[in-house]
Amino acid sequence: MLAWLDADRERAGEKHELIRRKLVRIFTCRGCPDPEELAAETINRVMRKIQDIADTYEGDPALYFYKVAHYVHLESVRPKPESAPMPPPDPPEKVEREYACLDHCMKRLPAKSRELVLQYYQQDKRAKIDHRKELADRLGIALNALRLRAHRIRASLQQCMLECLDERM
């Protein structure tokens, strides 16, 4: 970056410091709460871009910094999207009721279905994919048939859960 500002390292360092001070002054005049941080962000962005523009850029490099500072300022004043507040956690009684219903519904499943659904929903990411392929091979069925069986078992569990929760309310 210093070579882009001036061939003489000493003068390049002085130009860099002058640009940094002007950037701080610009952000201060615009009422930014942390002008030093925004000036540093501006300089960092220019540094990341220098290799792409240094050979073709014509004119005073300081002007490029000031233009980047304009965009950094616009980003800093842009309203931040509000994240939706987290819903309050379910009351412990409701969670206990759901677990009791799940336990009840799992016990109502035939042993093979219960074992299949427990095996099917194990692991995460790549391990889950590999585990399901092994499970399908062990059962001697296609992977799609395994998915269909798991879906049907899950649907019956969901129906049982709804009925159980309605009864316990």
CATH code of residue 102 = 1.10.10
Please say if the pLDDT value at position 169 is more than 80.
no
pLDDT at res. 82: 81
Both tokens of residue 111?
A: 């042993």
DSSP 8-state code for residue 12: H
Q: Is 8 left (phi over 0), alpha (psi -120 to 50) or beta?
A: beta
Within a domain: 82: no
Domain interval for residue 157: 92-167
- Higher pLDDT residue, 103 or 83? 103
65-96 residue pLDDT tens: 999 999 999 999 988 788 888 889 989 999 99
Tell me, yes or no, whether 128 and 161 share the same domain: yes
Please say if the pLDDT value at position 34 is more than 80.
yes
Please name the residues in contact with 133: beta carbons below 8 A apart, sequence gap of 6 or more: 143
CA distances from 76 to 33, 36, 47, 73 (A): 10, 13, 19, 5
DSSP 8-state code for residue 90: P
Tell me, yes or no, whether 46 and 100 share the same domain: no
pLDDT at res. 41: 97
Tell me, yes or no, whether 100 and 73 share the same domain: no
pLDDT at res. 143: 93
Both tokens of residue 60?
A: 């005073």
Tell me, yes or no, whether 73 and 102 share the same domain: no
pLDDT at res. 83: 81
Both tokens of residue 1?
A: 């970056």
pLDDT at res. 125: 87
Please say if the pLDDT value at position 164 is more than 80.
yes
Cβ proximity of 5 and 12 under 8 Å: yes
- Within 10 Å of residue 48's Cβ, how many Cβ atoms? 9
Within a domain: 57: yes
113-145 residue pLDDT tens: 999 999 999 988 889 999 999 999 999 999 999
Tell me, yes or no, whether 139 and 109 share the same domain: yes
Tell me, yes or no, whether 105 and 162 share the same domain: yes
Within a domain: 83: no
